[in-house]
Amino acid sequence: MAYSRATGDDISEVDTPLLDSVVAGYVDFEGRPSVRSKSGCWKSASFVIGAEVAERFAYFGISSNLISYLTGPLGQTTATAASNVNVWSGTSALLPLLGACVSESFFGRYRMIIFSNLLYILGLGSLSLSAALHSLNSSYCSKAANDEACSSSRLQIIFFFFSLYLVALAQGGHKPCLQAFGANQFDEDDENECKAKSPFFNWWCFFTSLGILVARVVLSYIQENLSWELGFGIPCIVMCFALIIFLLGTMTYRFQINSDGRNPFVSISHVFIQSARNFQATPTAVSVEKDAQENLAHKDARFSFLNKALLAPDGSRENGNDCNIRDIEDAKAILGLVPIWATCLGYAIVLSQVSTLFTKQGATMDRHINSSFQMPAASLLSFISLTNIVIVPIYDRIIVPIARAVSKEPSGLSMLQRIGVGVFLSIFSMVIAAIIERKRLITAIEYGLADMPKATIPMGVWWLVPQYMILGISEVFTLVGLQEFFYDQVPIELKSLGPALYFSVLGTGNFLSSFLISVIEKATSGRDHDGWFSDNLNRAHLDYFYWLLAGISAFAFAAYVYFASSYAHNEAIHSDEEAAPRLDFDII
């Protein structure tokens, strides 16, 4: 594939179509001006969404039932397995920050997506091989009299976790770039394309939920009833199809032009460094560019300490201080997202329980659909995906028009209002989860099963459906809202950072959940009594933990409302002449 970095001068040197059919600031795969009728919009976004559906199928095919593999074949305790799943999930969700930085600074989104996809295939293939080796070892040693011989070797465990974290690294490059690349296929300066883009994040959620649903239903059954190596191998094959789907759309894609070649991450970092250096600077020690300072103060009074990045010692700018108004506006935009990011962590902690404690909770209950078929515990997660699939069209076709008529806003609910609704719903999900878990414990005691951890509690697993469904509804509001909010509010040259910030909320929530579980496990367990996370869930107290999470969610919601009500939207970053767009050519 031969392509090069394009500039504004490059475009003037090639044969261009009629100006009204060219998308300003974009080129096609061969570096020619992008023709509006032949590129972008849904014709391109459909390939991107197709690749994303396959990737979500692969990722959730691994993550949804991971705790069952750790507590089953690998023989870990419930608390250890839950902690390991949370740490891995947290790492997977934080690595997109690194992926966004690398793609925007070096490779570009297009190349980063292809490289990450290949790394994904390698990681999933290694994971399947790891499961096959473990299965082979178990078959061999099951004939031995010494049960200890059947435990996995240290080398096998290391290889398994190496493969698992290879998948996390691949997702770190794949996720932020693919979503930003898809949203970037719509020209926001064109009224028709801007309108066409409006439901992009809603339908992104809808179709990816379909992929997740199939993974949770089909793969969890294969993993628990057929073989883990097949359950890990199928996602590897699906990721091969994801790469093919993405490459098929190459000739229709639009690529942004990088007009100045500056590294946006370095520029913004320089603002913080210069501001820190000049923090205690006095007017007598520096020469201030008054017009620039007054312009900044007029535009945005927040984080005024960053304005000091413009100060130059002794009235000279020869010592490398090249910060400008545009850079400072970018830095303020990123810093302004921090309160919203931080107050959504409580929601992320709640969400991290669905693939760990919720699954272990369901595994103890009666999961029979009929006399001959028993639902895998991980399949309960499908109720979240089903709820997403049902609620997204309802939200887009019913709730938005009604809200639009009331609020007079084009989107109906604002992005921050949408996020807040989901955070509020998460409180009720935890309250219901605590009540149902208490009933499960009472049922176990009534039937004399408290000391029989492997016994099935005579209580239908359908009791758990409400807590899953409420979280599913909350995802349509909060998760989709966060994706749209971060993408919309980051500077134009850092669009890959938007999805990365969204995933970092979930990743940090997983780490905080792991930390909470570890601390509570140490504080509540002892020789004479079981802790909250005892391996015998009939003697554990997950209900106490759910009540704690309900309290954390309530506090986080109150903090969110406070900061969201005072948030200043970045309506048009870089709209003025002195802050000309700094565009990124994605296939550099």
Q: What is the pLDDT of residues 201-222, one digit of tens each?
A: 778 888 888 888 888 888 888 8
Residue 183 is predicted with a pLDDT of 81
d(CA 78, CA 258): 50
Residue 571 is predicted with a pLDDT of 58
Going by pLDDT thresholds of 50, 70 and 90, the confidence category of residue 558 is very high
Which tens digits make up the pLDDT trace of 407-466? 777 677 888 999 999 999 999 999 999 999 999 999 999 988 888 878 888 888 899 999
Going by pLDDT thresholds of 50, 70 and 90, the confidence category of residue 257 is confident
Going by pLDDT thresholds of 50, 70 and 90, the confidence category of residue 68 is confident
| Gyration radius of the chain's alpha carbons | 26
Which tens digits make up the pLDDT trace of 41-52? 888 888 999 999
Residue 259 is predicted with a pLDDT of 55
**Between 499 and 174, whose confidence is greater?**
174
Going by pLDDT thresholds of 50, 70 and 90, the confidence category of residue 396 is confident
Which tens digits make up the pLDDT trace of 83-104? 888 788 888 888 888 888 888 7
Tokens of 560: 């969110």
| Long-range contacts, stretch 563-567, CB < 8 angstroms, 24+ apart | 563/339, 563/340, 563/343, 564/340, 564/343, 564/416, 564/419, 564/420, 567/336, 567/339, 567/340, 567/416
116-125, 208-217, 234-243, 311-320: segment of lowest average pLDDT: 311-320
**Between 320 and 568, whose confidence is greater?**
568
Q: E strand or H helix at 155, and its extent?
A: helix 154-183
For strand 312-313 and strand 22-27, is the pairing parallel, antiparallel, or unpaired? unpaired
69-83, 135-149, 219-233, 550-564: segment of lowest average pLDDT: 135-149
Distances (CA, A) of 16 to 7, 185, 305, 358: 14, 20, 46, 58
Residue 588 is predicted with a pLDDT of 33
d(CA 372, CA 319): 77
Residues 6+ positions from 343 with CB-CB distance below 8 Å: 556, 559, 560, 563, 564
Residue 428 is predicted with a pLDDT of 93
Residue 55 is predicted with a pLDDT of 92
> What mean pLDDT do residues 506-535 have?
83
The answer on pLDDT for 18 being more than 50 is no
Per-residue three-class SS string for 328-380: HHHHHHHHHCHHHHHHCHHHHHHHCCCCCHHHHHHHCEECECCCCCECCHHHH
**CB atoms closer than 10 angstroms to residue 571:** 8
DSSP output for 36-72: GGGSSHHHHHHHHHHHHHHHHHHHHHHHTTHHHHHHT
> What mean pLDDT do residues 315-327 have?
60
Angle at 127 between CA 121 and CA 133, to 5 degrees: 135
Going by pLDDT thresholds of 50, 70 and 90, the confidence category of residue 580 is very low
Residue 582 is predicted with a pLDDT of 33
**Between 250 and 327, whose confidence is greater?**
250
Most confident of 24-28, 136-140, 461-465: 461-465
d(CA 454, CA 439): 18
Residues 6+ positions from 132 with CB-CB distance below 8 Å: 229
d(CA 479, CA 506): 9
For strand 365-366 and strand 457-460, is the pairing parallel, antiparallel, or unpaired? parallel
**Between 144 and 72, whose confidence is greater?**
72
Residue 7 is predicted with a pLDDT of 37
Going by pLDDT thresholds of 50, 70 and 90, the confidence category of residue 143 is low
32-46, 124-138, 148-162, 415-429: segment of lowest average pLDDT: 148-162
**Between 344 and 310, whose confidence is greater?**
344
The SS3 of residue 460 is: strand
Query: What is the average pLDDT score of the chain?
Result: 79
**Between 123 and 527, whose confidence is greater?**
123
Instruction: Report which of 390, 393, 462, 424 is spatially closest to residue 558, judged by C-alpha positions.
Output: 424
Helices in 525-587 by DSSP H: which ranges? 542-565
> What mean pLDDT do residues 231-242 have?
92
d(CA 339, CA 516): 22
> What mean pLDDT do residues 379-387 have?
85
d(CA 121, CA 127): 10
d(CA 444, CA 215): 31
The answer on pLDDT for 150 being more than 70 is no
79-83, 141-145, 216-220: segment of lowest average pLDDT: 141-145
The answer on pLDDT for 406 being more than 80 is yes
